[in-house]
Structure 1
Amino acid sequence: MAPTPDFIRDLRTHIGSADLWIPAVRGVVVRRHDAGAALQEPEVLLVKRSDNGAWTVTSGILEPGEQPGEGAVREIEEETAVVARPVRVAGVFATHLVQYGNGDRCRYLDTVLEMEPVSGDPRVNDDESVEVGWYPVSALPEPLAEDQRMVIGWALDDGAPARLLTG
C-alpha cells in the first residue's frame, strides 16, 4: 500500500476502516518533444508500483488545502524526480470502492491533469515504485489497468475539454 498521509491516519483513528471519500490527483506526464525535436509518437511517464506491480501514471492524495496542480507537481517529483507543469485538466472522475489489505475502504475523487515535463531524468525516487520510465503510447507496459488507459487517452487528446464520467 502506498504511504498514507498523517491526516488520513488521524481520521482512521476516529472512523476505523469505514468508507472514506478522498480527493486525489493523477498527473499524466506527456512528452511530445525530446531535446527540442518532435518525437515520432508521444511518450508517457509511468511508474511500476512496489505494492502490486501494476504500471500507473503518477497519482496521490491531495494534502488538506492543496490545489490539484500543486499536488500533481509534488507527487511527480517525489516519485520520479521529474519536474513537470500542469497543462490542463483532462478529466475528473470517482473511482470504484478500493479496499486495502488492512481493511481500510475508500473512494477517490481523481482530478486528472495533462502535464508536460520541464526538467529531470526519470528514476525511482521513493519506495512507492520499483521502475520508472518513458513509454511510447504504442508500447505501454503491462499490467496497465483500464482506468490508466482511460486517463492516458484523455491526456493525449491535446486541447480537448475536460471529461466528466457520468453514471
Structure 2
Amino acid sequence: MKTTQPTGSRAPLSTNAVLRVPPASSAAAAYFGAALAFHADVSDVAAVLVGGGAPGFVVVDSRSTESWAQGHVPGALHLPTALIPEQAEKLLDKAVPVVTYCWGPGCNGGARAALALAELGYQVKEMLGGIEYWIREGFEVETQEGRERRDADPLTATIGADNCGC
C-alpha cells in the first residue's frame, strides 16, 4: 500500500505520530465490537433509565460511601469494589447484566469493579466517563437531600438536543 503525503503538510509521514502505525482494517471490526461489548456510554445509560420501564440491567456505583453521598446515578446500587466478593451475590442476580461506574475517565475503579464482578460470573459493562461525565452531560444525581441537576457542559454534551447523534 502506497501512502502519500497530504497536501500542505510539512512533516514526512515517518514522523507523523498518528499514522506511524497504519490504521487497522479488518481487525478494527473485532476490536471495536469488543470495546462496545465491554463499555456503555453515559448518554445511552441515561436514555434507558429515563425512558421508564425495566432497563434490563442494574447500575453499580463502586465508590466509597463518602463519594456515594456526594451524588450518584439515581437508582444505582452502592457496592464499593472492596465489598464485591462478599456482598455481590446477596445484592445482584447473575442473570441481570451489571453496568459499573466510578469517578471518571481518570479513574479505573469502574474497571476494577467490572473485573471483580466478571470473576464472579456476572455479565458486566463499564460506564465510560463515570459519574463525572454523567454530571457534565447534565443528568440528575441523587444525594441525601434529593435529586439535583447541573447545566450540561457544552464541551462534553450537545446543548438543546436529546443526544449527540452518534
When the two structures are superposed, what TM-score results if normalisation uses the length of structure 1?
0.22
**Structure with more relative contact order (C-alpha pairs < 8 Å, separation 6 or more):** 1
Determine which structure has the larger helix proportion and give its number. Answer: 2
Q: Which has the higher strand share?
A: 1
User: Which one has a bigger Cα radius of gyration?
Assistant: 2
> Could you state the TM-score of these two structures normalised by the residue count of structure 2?
0.22
